[in-house]
């Protein structure tokens, strides 16, 4: 087990190196003059030159990359141009808010998505199934930021029953709308996958065996079928975490949620590339870590998957 985790962590290293290289290239090599990003507009050439030297920008790119990586290893994700604060500190202030929101959304996604998918599959071609299929198809095509705005208009402006901005005193009421918006599209995906997975599993021989044993339909579905059907569902929820992280930027923007997504958005508006890049990089790290956790969780769901990471047949 620990060997598997170690191996997966090792495998993540080239990916992380690649990601940092791309971020680095985007930030410092591709367009324009990075020194200009570090100073106010209209600085004199002498100032630029001194900044270049101070930041080692006159060195070859691989030296710069090495320095960048060295800084990263020490937790230095760069410094915000606007706030003159380390990016990591800014992120630390906002992370808890984002994680709380994402956790609520993930819970909604998993619970509602799986329940809707199971009902839809078990009661195939019923009114409920049609309802689930129709609403998930529409939600899949839904621009999440527009859905968020609709929630604001209906629940906040029209009915005035829920707050539509910020997190106020941090009470649950502030979470409702952003979490629903964030979860919406992903819940639809989960429901669709659960449905198709469930339909496939229901046709398996072992389900017939379970029925022939005299088990109640409830046990057949909730124990024998669901446990198997959940394997691909967990995969999708895992793969979808990236989507959730991406959607968080849009949702937090619409709801002015003081999270990482909003910080990145504001940094875009304020032309603060180190924050955009550092923030992105941190999110990518989290994404890679979450994927690792998802992979490990398979092994608990599906005994056929050994920790070598492949199916033994």
Partner 1 sequence: MLLEVNNLRTYFYIERGVVKAVDGVSFSIDRGETLAIVGESGSGKSVTALSLLKLIPTPPGKILEGEVFFEGENILDFSEKNLRKIRGNRIAMIFQDPTTSLNPVFTIGDQVMEAILTHQRVPKKIAREKTVKLLEMVGIPQARGRLSDYPHQFSGGMRQRVMIAMALSCEPDILIADEPTTALDVTIQAQILELMGNLQKEFNSATILITHDLGVVAGLADRILVMYAGKPVEYADVNSIYYLPRHPYTLSLMDSVTRLDKSRKKRLQSIKGSPPSLINIPSGCSFHPRCKFATDICHKEVPELIEIKPGHFTACHQVNNADKG
Partner 2 sequence: MAKLPEEFNLEEIDQEPRGTTLKREILVTLRKNKMASFGLIVIAILVLVAIFAPVIAPYKNAVGFYPEEILKPPSVEHMMGTDDLGRDIFARIVWGSRVSVEVGILAVAFGLIIGLFMGALAGYKGGMADTLIMRTADVFFAFPYILGAIAVMTILGPGLENVIIAIGVLEWAYIARLFRGSVLATKVNDYVEAARAIGADDKRIIMKHILPNAITPVIVYSAMSVGTAIITEAALSFLGVGVQPPRPSWGWMLSDSRAFMSRAPWMMYFPGLAILVTVLGFVLVADGLRDMLDPRLKGMSEHVTRG
128 binds partner 2 (CB under 8 A): no
Rounded to whole angstroms, how far apart are CA atoms 21 and 28? 10
Per-residue contact flags (x/-) with partner 2 for residues 60 to 99, judged by CB under 8 A: ----------------------------------------
310 binds partner 1 (CB under 8 A): no
Strand pairing partners for 86? Answer: 79
Residue with tokens 């620990």: 2
9 binds partner 2 (CB under 8 A): no
Torsion-angle region of 168 (φ positive above 0: left; ψ -120 to 50: alpha; else: beta): left
299 binds partner 1 (CB under 8 A): no
Radius of gyration of the chain (CA): 24
| Among 143, 170, 216, 293, contact with partner 2 (rule: CB under 8 A) | 143
Instruction: Find how far residue 191's CA is from the centre of its chain.
Output: 18
Q: Residues 105, 159, 104, CA angle at the centre, nearest 5°?
A: 10
Closest CA to 283 of 30, 148, 142, 102: 102
297 within 8 A of 1, measured Cβ to Cβ: no
148 within 8 A of 248, measured Cβ to Cβ: no
Per-residue contact flags (x/-) with partner 2 for residues 181 to 200, judged by CB under 8 A: --------x--xx-xx--xx
Q: Residue 94 or residue 195: which is nearer to partner 2 going by CB?
A: 195
| Among 122, 210, 248, 254, contact with partner 1 (rule: CB under 8 A) | 210
Residues that bind partner 2 (CB under 8 A): 14-16, 18-19, 22-23, 26-27, 30-31, 133, 137-138, 140-146, 149-150, 152-153, 157, 189, 192-193, 195-196, 199-200, 202-205, 207-208, 211-212, 236, 239, 241-247, 249-250, 253-254, 264-265, 268-269, 273, 276-277, 280, 283-284, 287-288
């Amino acid at each position: 087990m620990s060997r598997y985790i170690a191996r997966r962590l090792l495998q993540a290293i080239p990916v992380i190196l690649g990601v940092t290289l791309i971020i680095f290239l985007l930030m410092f090599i591709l367009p324009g003059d990075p020194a200009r990003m570090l100073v106010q507009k209209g600085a004199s050439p002498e100032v630029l030159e001194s900044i270049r030297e101070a930041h080692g920008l006159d060195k070859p790119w691989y030296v710069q990359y090495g320095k960048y990586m060295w800084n990263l290893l020490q937790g230095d994700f760069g410094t915000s141009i606007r706030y003159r604060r380390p990016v990591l500190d800014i992120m630390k202030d906002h992370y808890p808010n984002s994680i709380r929101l994402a956790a609520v959304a993930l819970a909604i996604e998993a619970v509602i998505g799986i329940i809707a998918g199971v009902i839809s599959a078990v009661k195939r071609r019923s009114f409920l199934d049609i309802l689930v299929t129709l609403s998930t198809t529409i939600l899949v095509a839904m621009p999440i930021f527009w859905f968020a705005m609709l929630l604001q208009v209906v629940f906040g402006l029209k009915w005035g029953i829920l707050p539509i901005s910020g997190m106020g005193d941090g009470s649950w009421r502030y979470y409702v709308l952003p979490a629903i918006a964030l979860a919406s599209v992903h819940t639809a995906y989960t429901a669709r996958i659960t449905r198709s997975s469930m339909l496939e599993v229901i046709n398996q021989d072992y389900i017939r065996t379970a029925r022939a044993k005299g088990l109640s339909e409830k046990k057949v579905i909730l124990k024998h079928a669901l446990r198997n059907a959940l394997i691909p569902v967990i995969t999708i929820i895992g793969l979808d975490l990236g989507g959730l992280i991406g959607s968080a930027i849009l949702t937090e923007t619409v709801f002015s949620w003081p999270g990482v997504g909003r910080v990145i958005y504001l940094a875009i508006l304020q032309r603060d590339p180190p924050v955009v890049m550092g923030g992105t990089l941190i999110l990518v790290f989290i994404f890679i870590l979450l994927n690792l956790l998802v992979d490990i969780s398979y092994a608990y769901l599906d005994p056929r998957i050994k920790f070598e990471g492949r199916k033994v047949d």
